[in-house]
Structure 1
């Protein structure tokens, strides 16, 4: 069957269309996305502006039309931290439902972490052993650890690249004092939960998902996306530590000229790199492997698990 997963994230609204069947690998058929940066559209009271809601409704409608055009049988919609934590979340969800007909479930941070972990486990398989999965989104950082498809430990922290950029790094080229303050904040937040994971043992394999990790790996020399999904891509802590001060000293335009960095994400890359560096350091990770699958694929896989086998 043809499924469409509609991800209302903190940075983008992304419709991923796949051809999927129980027991088979989902095959991507179409991708439709619009950059909204909802995490950066919150006002001083933490609410999404009227203009932001209008734009969200329009983009969701466009995605639903694209799903119809591509013959999607079922749309699996969900929203993440930007909507979840908005002061006017109920108003936002009501507007989307009224004007598009779609009821938009809001995932908890724990659900995000667990579904992302499921996607990574299915991608790497049982031979990867105990997995530590790190995912940096626009609004939050998700962490999962375990041996099975359900992680033994999962956490979600408000350390998304978009959220932190807005709150801590104003201006185009961040002030070194602001970068240092954000570094302290990020490390203090992550350090609080490291012990919850450490009691479950040492990971056999550490995985990074999300656009932030993919961009950082590409900057550090990993293969291009055009080289295909199955090329192994990794990011070392050493290379990341070398790049963090370089990125902090650049303007957004200069970062956008780096390999693999999109113009829309360039402004968030310093905050994302600080989170990645802190997580790898505090969890004792020297190298992680980039996983092509993440939350959207986890949602699809969970849905397939509940379909009857033909």
Structure 2
């Protein structure tokens, strides 16, 4: 079966098309995305503007055309923190449903964490033992830990790379005192949930997903994407600590010249690095192993589980 999933994230909106069959792993067939940055369209009252809503609607229509061109039989869609927190998110999704027929499901933060954990578990397999997952998006940070496919604990915190940058790291680059203040805030928020993670057992493998973590791994020496998804990539805490002061001192234009940091991610890579480094410090993580599968794959895998065996 050829399946498609529309992922309305805080930074980008993706369409992933895969060939998926019962008992087999999903094989990517096509990708289509736009850097929409929905939080940038949100006003002071927490509502997404008409322009932002129109751009999202237009992209969903594009996705329908792409899905038709690629012979997609089943199309799913979901939205994460930007729509979840928007005052008019339900109205936007209802308009999309009426005008396109596409029903985008709003994922609660815990479900976002749980489904990303499922993707990591399937990627690494049972032999990896207990996993601790770190996933950072534009609007939220997801943490999960467990031994089975459904984690024992699945958490979502409002510490996304885009959110931290937008709300707390003004300036290009931000002032050192500002960075110090944000560092303290991030660590205080993460420390509040460490007991929930620690009480379920000591992980055997620490896993990182998301574009931000892949970028940080590349920045600190991991193999480029051209070497394929099966190449092992890691992010070491000591390496991240070494590059953090450099990122904090750089203007956005200089960050965009670094390996693994795209122009669209250069603004928020500092905020993302600060969050990831704080998690690694507080959880005692020396190294994250990068997982190429994340939330979109988790949604597809969950759907595949509903298909009866032939």
**Root-mean-square deviation (Å):** 0.8
Matched, 1:228 2:228: yes
Shift of 1:260: 1.2
Shift of 1:182: 1.3
Secondary structure in 1 matching 2:154: strand
CA distance in structure 2 between the aligned counterparts of 1:191 and 1:30, rounded to whole angstroms: 40
Give matches, 1:284-303, under 5 Å: 284-303=284-303
Secondary structure in 1 matching 2:208: strand
Residues 41 and 51 in structure 2, CA contact (< 8 A), matched pair in contact too: no
Give matches, 1:231-250, under 5 Å: 231-250=231-250
- Which position in structure 1 is the counterpart of 2:180? 180
- Which position in structure 2 is the counterpart of 1:114? 114
CA distance in structure 2 between the aligned counterparts of 1:204 and 1:97, rounded to whole angstroms: 43
- Which position in structure 2 is the counterpart of 1:257? 257
Shift of 1:308: 1.1
Secondary structure in 1 matching 2:174: coil
Q: Could you list the per-position Cα deviations for residues 190-220 of structure 1 after superposition, in whole angstroms to 9, with x for gaps in the alignment?
A: 1000001111111000000000000000000
- Which position in structure 1 is the counterpart of 2:152? 152
- Which position in structure 2 is the counterpart of 1:17? 17
CA distance in structure 1 between the aligned counterparts of 2:40 and 2:140, rounded to whole angstroms: 13
Equivalent pairs, count: 310
CA distance in structure 1 between the aligned counterparts of 2:64 and 2:234, rounded to whole angstroms: 35
CA distance in structure 1 between the aligned counterparts of 2:95 and 2:278, rounded to whole angstroms: 38
TM-score normalised by structure 2 residue count: 0.98
Residues 7 and 78 in structure 2, CA contact (< 8 A), matched pair in contact too: yes
Shift of 1:39: 2.4
Matched, 1:124 2:124: yes
Secondary structure in 2 matching 1:14: strand
TM-score normalised by structure 1 residue count: 0.98
Shift of 1:171: 2.9
Extract unaligned runs of 5+ from structure 2.
Answer: none
Secondary structure in 2 matching 1:99: helix
CA distance in structure 2 between the aligned counterparts of 1:9 and 1:70, rounded to whole angstroms: 23
Secondary structure in 2 matching 1:274: helix
Shift of 1:40: 2.8
Shift of 1:76: 1.1
Q: Return 51-60 or 112-121, whichever deviates more.
A: 51-60
Residues 133 and 145 in structure 1, CA contact (< 8 A), matched pair in contact too: yes
CA distance in structure 1 between the aligned counterparts of 2:120 and 2:55, rounded to whole angstroms: 32
Secondary structure in 2 matching 1:267: coil
Give matches, 1:10-49, under 5 Å: 10-49=10-49
CA distance in structure 2 between the aligned counterparts of 1:281 and 1:169, rounded to whole angstroms: 21
CA distance in structure 1 between the aligned counterparts of 2:86 and 2:110, rounded to whole angstroms: 17
Shift of 1:295: 0.2
Matched, 1:216 2:187: no
Residues 40 and 163 in structure 1, CA contact (< 8 A), matched pair in contact too: no
Residues 15 and 63 in structure 1, CA contact (< 8 A), matched pair in contact too: yes
Secondary structure in 2 matching 1:75: strand
Secondary structure in 1 matching 2:223: coil
Matched, 1:96 2:100: no
CA distance in structure 2 between the aligned counterparts of 1:277 and 1:292, rounded to whole angstroms: 20
- Which position in structure 1 is the counterpart of 2:87? 87
CA distance in structure 2 between the aligned counterparts of 1:147 and 1:96, rounded to whole angstroms: 38
